[in-house]
Chain A
Amino acid sequence: MLMKLIAAAAFSACIAAALPAAAQNPLAAEIIGQETLDIGTSTSEIAITSDFSGADLTIFGALANADQLLLAIGQYDVVVTLEGPRDWTTVRRKERMFGIWVNRTSMTFEQMPTSYSLASTRPVSEIASAATLTQLGIGIEHLALTPTGYLSNAANLGEFRDAFRRLKQTAGLYQGDTNGVRFVSSSLFKATLQLPANIPDGVHMVHAYLFKSGEFITERELPLRVIKTGLEDAITQAAHQQPLFYGMFSVMLALITGWLASLIFRKD
């Protein structure tokens, strides 16, 4: 009983303390009518079949409570990104040693998206300041590339970051389209993102960011599942989940193939 009382007292104290802060946040936004954003995708699942050669993903979005005047003169900007599943990524650098090229130095970056596509109303550098973009992690140049572990070559950090971005872009995994978002009516927009043929499977995240006159207003996100299908998927699943049986099966297949060949081509 006593405990409950103390808890209740503590709770009301918290609310009292939180009130002034809440005045500037979502609660207040409703009152003065701040802009809100809603998005939907053409599909929530992308299937990778054996002949998958990339696809387009269309994202529709609606803007509510927008200032019609600012909208008319193009002061609202939308950025839509698709981030692939995150994983640690190592960048290795080759150097010449005794005449041959050897991986010498490496740097591992924390939880980087394996793929990244971006569409926006204008080039992102024109939409907001570099500081804002970096803070939000919007754009290939502004993704946080945090090295992990002991840094023996901190001086080369910039070089490794550039290499990471360059390699991801040449592989087609990171891409940006600065005209990918178009307003189809005063409050509706449509974004088209290109998915590369080598898109990794897993849960991807669609993010939509709204800016007004260079200021970040709000953000929405939606998951998108990318799955392998058919025989390819069955094989990948088996290889990773039942590796021992998969290995034995591969060997059996080889034994039978070799044995059949010796039967068919028997010369007597």
Chain B
Amino acid sequence: MTIYLPIAELSVNIFIILGMGAAVGFLSGMFGVGGGFLITPLLIFYNIPPVVAVATGANQVVASSVSGAITHFRRGSLDIKLGIVLLIGGLAGATVGVVIFSWLRRLGQLDLIISLLYVVFLGTVGGLMLIESLRAMRRASRNETISLKRPGQHNWVHRLPFKMRFKKSKIYLSVIPLLALGFAIGILTSIMGVGGGFIMVPAMIYLLRIPTNVVVGTSLFQIIFTTAYTTIVQAATNFSVDIVLAFVLMVAGVIGAQYGVRVGQKLRGEQLRALLGLLVLAVGVRLAIELVVPPEDIYSLAIGG
């Protein structure tokens, strides 16, 4: 059964889109990530124009992060004050990102930059995750105790001014690194169509030493708003949000996520992280190959002045 996507302006097989949404939803539920970093490249592999894939990906992430954030809110593992500070930086970053996005699109370099950013980020994050989890697995087999640096230990980040107290997270931290982190990820949200959880979560844990229990919920909370904002701004400036595509993806995604969560609970942490690392790395490599292999036609057309 084919379905016509009015904004992407092409007909696609609805079952492939449903399958993609469900698979990514399953993985995002299993690993506790938004899934934007998987859905956007998958859509690009399926010949959806990158411009549409990015904007629609952001819209789909809104749905998956809302259901995740609600769960965390009920459990009390969401620091709203911390989320709002991150969000202020995030919204500023997303605004700048959309301007960059439109500019790259006019230059004809948008597709390249999207691919490059994906290759760099997926390669780095996937690689680090894989190495870290393999180490953890080796330690576990040798029955060694893990000596992670305890959260609460101080580094240069904790010497910055403009400190603020976050009661729920039980931390006293400068707003500068929080705003900067939000800003950087806001830019990525606009350009890559991701929520940025896969960068936000490690940065909050390892760089800012925020207690792990509030990190995922708080990151999801702020992702709802940055992706929602990005969707609206992308729709208003680039007219590139495909609501039909987004809706099919999000319905399949939220259902898939529920089953992913159940499977995820049965797997061990380091195995889970190793699998996710492999997956992230694979998507990055696939995109990298596309950049290096000679294209079928070195010429391309773009309509409009």
Question: Residues of B contacting A93 with CB < 8 Å?
Answer: 298-299
Contacts known (A253-B247, A259-B70, A261-B63); A92 close to B6, Cβ less than 8 A:
no
**Nearest B-chain residue to A232, judged by Cβ:** B6
In Å, the complex CA distance between A89 and B108 comes to 12
Q: How far is the CB of B261 from chain A (nearest CB, A)?
A: 9
Given A103-B300, A255-B63, A94 and B236 contact (CB-CB distance below 8 Å): no
Interface stretch, picked from A29-37, A209-217, A236-244, is: A236-244
Separation in Å of the B111 CB from the closest CB of chain A? 8
Q: Which bracket fits the contact residues of B? A: 35 or more
Asked if A103 and B232 sit within 8 Å, CB to CB, the answer is no
Q: Please indicate the chain A residues that have their CB under 8 angstroms from the CB of B65 in the complex.
A: 258
Q: In whole angstroms, how far apart are the Cα atoms of A123 and B106 in the complex? A: 39
A240 touches B299 (CB 8 A): no
Contact call B300/A94, Cβ cutoff below 8 A? yes
A250–B59 touching, CB < 8 Å: yes
CA distance A32 to B214 in the complex (A): 92
* Contact code string A240-260 (vs B, CB < 8 Å = 1, else 0): 100110111111011101110
Q: How far is B69's CA from A261's CA once the two chains are assembled, in angstroms?
A: 12
Interface pick from B130-138, B163-171, B237-245? B237-245
B173 at the A/B interface (Cβ < 8 Å)? no
Stretch at the interface among A19-27, A69-77, A138-146, A160-168: A160-168
Which of A50, A170, A239 gathers most chain B CB within 10 Å? Answer: A239
B62: Cβ under 8 A from any A Cβ:
yes
Is there contact, CB below 8 Å, between A248 and B232?
yes
B298 touches A114 (CB 8 A): no
Shortest Cβ distance from B299 into chain A, in angstroms?
A: 4
- Whether A251 touches B64, Cβ cut-off 8 Å, given contacts A100-B292, A114-B303, A244-B235, is no
**Inter-chain contact A235/B67, CB cutoff 8 Å:** no
Q: A100-B292, A101-B291, A239-B7 are in contact. Are A262 and B66 (CB under 8 A)?
A: yes
B161 adjacent to chain A (CB < 8 Å): no
Chain B residues near A50 (CB-CB < 8 A): 3-4
With a cutoff of 8 Å between Cβ atoms, the chain A residues found around residue B241 in the complex are 239, 246-247, 250
Most buried by A among B70, B109, B235, B241: B235
Nearest A residue (CB) for B25: A261
- What residue of chain A has the Cβ atom nearest to residue B29's Cβ? A265
Among A101, A240, A251, find the residue whose CB has the most chain B CB atoms closer than 10 A.
Answer: A251
| 8 A Cβ contacts from B33-75 to A | 59-60, 62-67, 70-71
- Stretch touching chain A among B121-129, B139-147, B251-259, B278-286: B251-259
B300's contact among A87, A91, A251, A261, by CB below 8 Å, is which?
A: A91
A residues at B contact (CB < 8 Å): 50-51, 87-96, 99-103, 106, 108, 114, 160, 163-164, 166-168, 170-171, 198, 228, 231-233, 235-236, 239-240, 243-244, 246-251, 253-255, 257-259, 261-262, 265
Which 5 A-B pairs have CB atoms at the shortest separation, nearest pair first? A258-B66, A247-B235, A261-B254, A247-B232, A254-B62
Given contacts A90-B301, A261-B67, 12 further A-B contacts (CB under 8 A): A87-B303, A100-B116, A163-B297, A164-B299, A166-B297, A168-B301, A232-B6, A247-B234, A250-B243, A254-B63, A254-B250, A261-B63
**12 pairs, A vs B, C-beta closer than 8 Å:** A91-B299, A101-B291, A101-B292, A102-B112, A103-B112, A103-B300, A235-B243, A249-B243, A254-B66, A254-B231, A255-B228, A257-B250
